[in-house]
A and B are shown apart, each in its own frame.
Chain A
Amino acid sequence: MIEPSTIGDLNLDGDEEPYILRLFVTGASSNSIRAITNIKQICDTYLADRYSLEIVDVHQQKQIAEQEQIIALPMLIKYSPLPRRRLIGDMSDTQHVLTGLGL
């Protein structure tokens, strides 16, 4: 399942940097589906309009696993703002997700 980037209207004139996120999942596994649902919800709640989220199915682009040092899935990589963070799991632990995103 490929979800093209769900780009909200990026608020580029704000003080805060936009959040660039990429979620790696594996097909339609239950963890993947839960992760997608959960992260969307969190982003919409806490980062409305200032994030971009790309969802990548690793099964479709296997070589990306090595490029992005992927072991555990699902995994969300926060590229920006720095520091770069990796969040693994189905994003059900909202508190940890927020910590990981630096919120």
Chain B
Amino acid sequence: MSLNSSKQIKSSLPSLLKSPTGIPGLDEITGGGLPKGRPTLICGGTGCGKTLFSIEFIVRGAIEFNEPGVFMAFEEKTEELAANVASLGFDLDQLQKDERIKLDYVHIDRNEIEETGEYDLEGLFIRLGYAIDSIGAKRVVLDTIENLFANLNNEGILRSEIRRLFNWLKEKGVTTIITGEKGEGTLTRNGLEEYVSDCVILLDHRINNQISTRLLRIVKYRGSAHGTNEYPFLIDEDGLSVLPVTSLTLDHAVTTERISSGIPSLDKMLEGKGFYRGSSILVSGTAGTGKTSIAGSFAQATCQRGERCIYFAFEESPNQIVRNMRSIGFDLQVHIDAGLLQFHASRPTLNGLEMHLVTIHKLIREFKPQVVVVDPITNLITVGSISEVRSMLMRLIDFLQAEQITVVFTALSMNTVVGEQTDEGVSSLVDAWLLVRDIESNGERNRGMYIMKSRGMKHSNQVREFVITNEGLELVDVYLGAEGVLIGSAREAQQLQEATGVALRDHAVTRKDREVERKRLVLESKIASLREEFESVQEELNKAFVDEELRQAIMERNREQIIRNRHNDQ
């Protein structure tokens, strides 16, 4: 067999060289991509995304990594393929014209073929070799070579030729994806896995409770560490995206910036400044305790600061929320019109948890909000188990914290016993936890709110009464009196009573004041009359004194006169 083109020196690639796929999340799990220069087997059942995976590998390789690729399709015609991926924004025709990719549709019609003896697949080798050389391809996809088994009878020849093909591809140093349909009890129907020893990725499409989840697992990756979990992945209008189940590190940047909750009295309970930016806040409570109102007020405050907010509603439609918020004085429509607020409402059962997560991811990436509201997370339980919801929320929180986005979750608790698993076990994941509770007493129902936890700040340990008014939300200090904690009308009665007491005391004080004034006036007039009296006495005294002096002077004069007169007589 002459294979001149492949008579190259075996490339001595270090085992760790990898070829990035460009598929979000996958390169993270595989530590950089698929093994470079080696074949990778992608297997899975019908409709699990094998073809899309491989076409994305080729297209992203050509666009993002400047590695031209050959896509050899054994199932779909190239035009069909181009049409199928056009919705993902991949223009295969243009890429072909630019010689960055090459599509080749291999058509074999069993009815047309007569086998007349010994043969080999040299035609395939020549064809593929020519395609690779014509564009300098670094990547090759064979989708799916197993089709040959259906159309050619001599399995012995096929097997040995396929083995030879894989060796030949390795020698050519092209990174290859071979797809294979899942078989009974084996990874592929025709046992392709025995020829591909470097990397095997299994795609699965599972339906649980009528809800489908796509999962990806790396069965084997020789010479490389890799994630071994089943990773959920999604196919949407942007192609594939794999979600690593957990991010491996906990090293998000943090900020000390604080943002208001939109409820001034709540901010006051949090050192007067509100929550940390980028923190996660859980508002839990029983039905009708105003969780959505708190979330709405947070959204309102965000938009009023001129920041963007996405509101994921799993219970109510956007119009419903806007109408309801208007009744407590928040006009959210204004912010929607201004492009600051975006609603995304869907029933949890619309799709699996992972799809929700990816939708959330995608919208956040597009809209770049500063605040995200998820209302409520409890509804997600209808599409997954508690542990699944918890893992999904954990990943969501991880992602949001990495992006410095503040998130508010609301959760409905079914009972009022704190610490029971009513909050999907996320309370340990969140930074702040507000609990709104019904307090029923004296034949009425009131709302009490307290801060269960708030990491990294002092916070009030008081239960506040949570009042929803036409002008918004308010927290009122509960009345702590001799009879215990008073709330609702009992509190108001107590407050009225106190107000009455104050009025009465005020009244008493004024009366006493007037009396004092009167007394003062009386005394002052008395003082005035005494002073008058004193003056007249003084005058009287003065007058007597002058009289006396006058008399003295006259008498003196008279006596001298007399003396003189007497002398004159002598």
A99: chain B residues within 8 A (beta carbon): 114
CB of B122 within 8 A of CB of A62, answer no
CB of A70 within 8 A of CB of B123, answer yes
CB of A73 within 8 A of CB of B2, answer no
**Complex CA–CA separation, A102 to B502 (angstroms):** 117
Give residues of chain A (81-97) contacting chain B, Cβ–Cβ below 8 Å: 83-93, 96-97
Q: Tell me which of B4, B112, B123, B124 contacts A85 (CB under 8 A).
A: B112
**Complex CA–CA separation, A27 to B462 (angstroms):** 91
Give residues of chain B (106-136) contacting chain A, Cβ–Cβ below 8 Å: 106-108, 112-124, 126-127, 129-131
What mask results when residues 364 to 401 of chain B are scored 1 for a CB within 8 Å of chain A, else 0?
00000000000000000000000000000000000000
B360 within 8 A of A: no
- Nearest A residue to B1 via CB reads A29
A13 within 8 A of B: no
Q: Tell me which of A26, A73, A84, A91 contacts B112 (CB under 8 A).
A: A84
CB of B118 within 8 A of CB of A92, answer yes
A12 within 8 A of B: no
**Complex CA–CA separation, A26 to B115 (angstroms):** 17
User: Among the interface residues B104, B123, B130, B131, which one has the most CB atoms of the partner chain A within 10 A?
Assistant: B123
**Complex CA–CA separation, A99 to B129 (angstroms):** 33
CB of B112 within 8 A of CB of A71, answer no
Min CB gap B117→A, angstroms: 4
**Complex CA–CA separation, A29 to B125 (angstroms):** 14
**Complex CA–CA separation, A73 to B114 (angstroms):** 12
**Complex CA–CA separation, A58 to B116 (angstroms):** 19
A88: chain B residues within 8 A (beta carbon): 113-116, 119, 152
Main secondary structure of the interface of B (DSSP, over half): mixed
Known contacts: A26-B2, A66-B104. The answer to whether A72 contacts B114 by CB under 8 A is no
Q: Tell me which of B106, B117, B122, B131 contacts A58 (CB under 8 A).
A: B122
Known contacts: A26-B2, A27-B2. The answer to whether A92 contacts B116 by CB under 8 A is yes
**Complex CA–CA separation, A1 to B122 (angstroms):** 16
CB of A69 within 8 A of CB of B116, answer no
B196 within 8 A of A: no
Q: Total A-B pairs in contact (CB under 8 Å)?
A: 111
CB of B106 within 8 A of CB of A93, answer no
**Complex CA–CA separation, A26 to B124 (angstroms):** 12
CB of B123 within 8 A of CB of A73, answer yes
A75 within 8 A of B: yes
Min CB gap A92→B, angstroms: 4
A100 within 8 A of B: yes
B486 within 8 A of A: no
**Complex CA–CA separation, A92 to B116 (angstroms):** 6
B148 within 8 A of A: yes
B107: chain A residues within 8 A (beta carbon): 69
A58: chain B residues within 8 A (beta carbon): 122-123, 126
CB of B119 within 8 A of CB of A31, answer yes
B148: chain A residues within 8 A (beta carbon): 71
B106: chain A residues within 8 A (beta carbon): 69, 71
**Complex CA–CA separation, A27 to B123 (angstroms):** 12
| Number of residues on chain A facing chain B (CB within 8 A) | 38
**Complex CA–CA separation, A38 to B119 (angstroms):** 14
- Nearest B residue to A58 via CB reads B126
- Nearest A residue to B109 via CB reads A86
**Complex CA–CA separation, A99 to B108 (angstroms):** 19
Known contacts: A26-B2, A27-B2, A59-B2. The answer to whether A75 contacts B123 by CB under 8 A is yes
CB of A72 within 8 A of CB of B118, answer no
A87: chain B residues within 8 A (beta carbon): 113-116
**Complex CA–CA separation, A100 to B106 (angstroms):** 21
A38: chain B residues within 8 A (beta carbon): 117
**Complex CA–CA separation, A86 to B111 (angstroms):** 9
A63 within 8 A of B: yes
A19 within 8 A of B: no
- Nearest A residue to B154 via CB reads A89
What mask results when residues 80 to 124 of chain B are scored 1 for a CB within 8 Å of chain A, else 0?
000000000000000000000000101110001111111111111
Min CB gap A33→B, angstroms: 12
CB of B123 within 8 A of CB of A96, answer no
**Complex CA–CA separation, A34 to B116 (angstroms):** 12
A74: chain B residues within 8 A (beta carbon): 119
Min CB gap A81→B, angstroms: 14
- Nearest A residue to B129 via CB reads A62
A51: chain B residues within 8 A (beta carbon): none
CB of B2 within 8 A of CB of A90, answer no
CB of B113 within 8 A of CB of A65, answer no
**Complex CA–CA separation, A90 to B116 (angstroms):** 6
A100: chain B residues within 8 A (beta carbon): 114, 116
B129: chain A residues within 8 A (beta carbon): 62
CB of A73 within 8 A of CB of B122, answer yes
Give residues of chain A (39-55) contacting chain B, Cβ–Cβ below 8 Å: none
CB of A97 within 8 A of CB of B114, answer yes
B131: chain A residues within 8 A (beta carbon): 66
Known contacts: A31-B119, A66-B104, A71-B121. The answer to whether A96 contacts B126 by CB under 8 A is no
B118: chain A residues within 8 A (beta carbon): 31, 34, 89-90, 92
- Which B residues are closer than 8 A to A by beta carbons? 1-2, 4, 104, 106-108, 112-124, 126-127, 129-131, 148, 152
Known: A59-B4, A89-B116. 15 other contacts (CB 8 A): A29-B120, A31-B120, A34-B118, A35-B117, A58-B126, A66-B104, A70-B124, A71-B121, A85-B114, A86-B114, A87-B116, A88-B119, A90-B118, A92-B118, A100-B116
By Cβ-Cβ distance, the 4 closest A-B pairs, closest first, are A100-B114, A89-B117, A70-B123, A65-B127
24 contacts between A and B (CB under 8 A): A26-B1, A26-B123, A29-B1, A29-B120, A29-B122, A31-B120, A34-B118, A62-B126, A65-B126, A66-B104, A66-B130, A69-B108, A70-B126, A71-B108, A72-B124, A72-B152, A73-B119, A73-B120, A75-B119, A83-B112, A85-B114, A87-B116, A99-B114, A100-B114
